[in-house]
């Protein structure tokens, strides 16, 4: 089984991803984090096709994949699920940044019991209540977990580890 983490857009997410990876390692779980191209080249754009190829290369021929994704990572995962290039065994979204139709189209393709969404109560990109209503409209069986925070930060490695196990 391959566990991959698709972090948020900003470069500070690299440190966050490394911390999550370190905590997973302490629990004897191997987590592969994706480093976005724009972190290295300094550009402010995000290339979905480029990053999708990188994710597919990391997955290789592995059939059992668990995807953890934050913010723009959720958007990339949703796009890949919709295009049927990604078929995760488990999907954990954090900080979904919008109620974009791509989420409706992609999440509807998966078993709702295999999807978890973690949203901070007052995330500036989408608060918990707004996201809960949106996700439950897609499928009421999808679990939406609220964490008390006014930020777009998701420092919850213990929760993530428990959801993956």
Q: Using CB atoms within 10 A of its CB, is residue 8 exposed (0-12), middle (13-18) or buried (19+)? A: buried
Report how far residue 109's alpha carbon sits from residue 82's, in angstroms, rounded to the nearest whole number.
8
Q: Using 50, 70 and 90 to split pLDDT, how confident is the model at 44?
A: confident
The CATH superfamily of 2-164 is Alpha/Beta hydrolase fold, catalytic domain (3.40.50.1820)
Q: Using 50, 70 and 90 to split pLDDT, how confident is the model at 39?
A: confident
Domain map of the chain by residue range?
A: 2-164
Give the per-residue pLDDT at 38: 84
Give the per-residue pLDDT at 45: 82
The DSSP H or E segment spanning 118 is strand 115-120
Q: Which carries the bigger pLDDT value, residue 134 or residue 47?
A: 134
What number is the average pLDDT over the span 28-41?
92
Give the per-residue pLDDT at 61: 86
Instruction: Look at residue 138 and give its three-state secondary structure.
Output: helix
What number is the average pLDDT over the span 124-149?
97
**C-alpha angle with apex 82: 125 to 133, nearest 5 degrees?**
40
pTM assigned to the model: 0.95
**Cα Rg of the chain (Å, integer):** 15
CB atoms within 10 A of CB 148: 8
Q: Using 50, 70 and 90 to split pLDDT, how confident is the model at 19?
A: very high
Give the per-residue pLDDT at 40: 84
User: What DSSP letter does each residue of 11-62 carry, written as one string?
Assistant: THHHHHHHHHHHHHHHTT--EEEPPPHHHHH--S---HHHHHHHHHHHHTT-
Look at residue 151 and tell me whether its pLDDT is greater than 90.
yes
What number is the average pLDDT over the span 73-89?
97
Q: Using 50, 70 and 90 to split pLDDT, how confident is the model at 108?
A: very high
What number is the average pLDDT over the span 122-137?
96
Give the per-residue pLDDT at 131: 97
What number is the average pLDDT over the span 140-165?
97
């Amino acid at each position: 089984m391959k566990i991959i983490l698709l972090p948020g857009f900003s470069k500070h997410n690299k440190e966050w991803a490394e911390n999550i990876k370190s905590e997973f390692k302490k629990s004897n779980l191997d987590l592969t984090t994706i480093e976005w191209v724009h972190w290295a080249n300094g550009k402010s754009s995000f290339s979905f096709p480029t990053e999708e190829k990188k994710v597919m290369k990391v997955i290789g021929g592995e059939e059992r994949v668990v995807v953890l994704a934050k913010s723009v990572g959720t958007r990339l995962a949703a796009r890949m699920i919709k295009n049927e290039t990604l078929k995760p065994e488990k999907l954990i979204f954090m900080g979904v940044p919008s109620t974009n139709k791509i989420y409706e189209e992609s999440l509807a393709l998966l078993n709702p019991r295999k999807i978890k969404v973690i949203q901070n109560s007052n995330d500036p990109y989408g608060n918990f209540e707004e996201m809960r209503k949106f996700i439950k409209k897609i499928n009421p069986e999808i679990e939406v977990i609220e964490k008390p925070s006014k930020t777009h930060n998701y420092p919850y490695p213990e929760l993530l580890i428990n959801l993956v196990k």
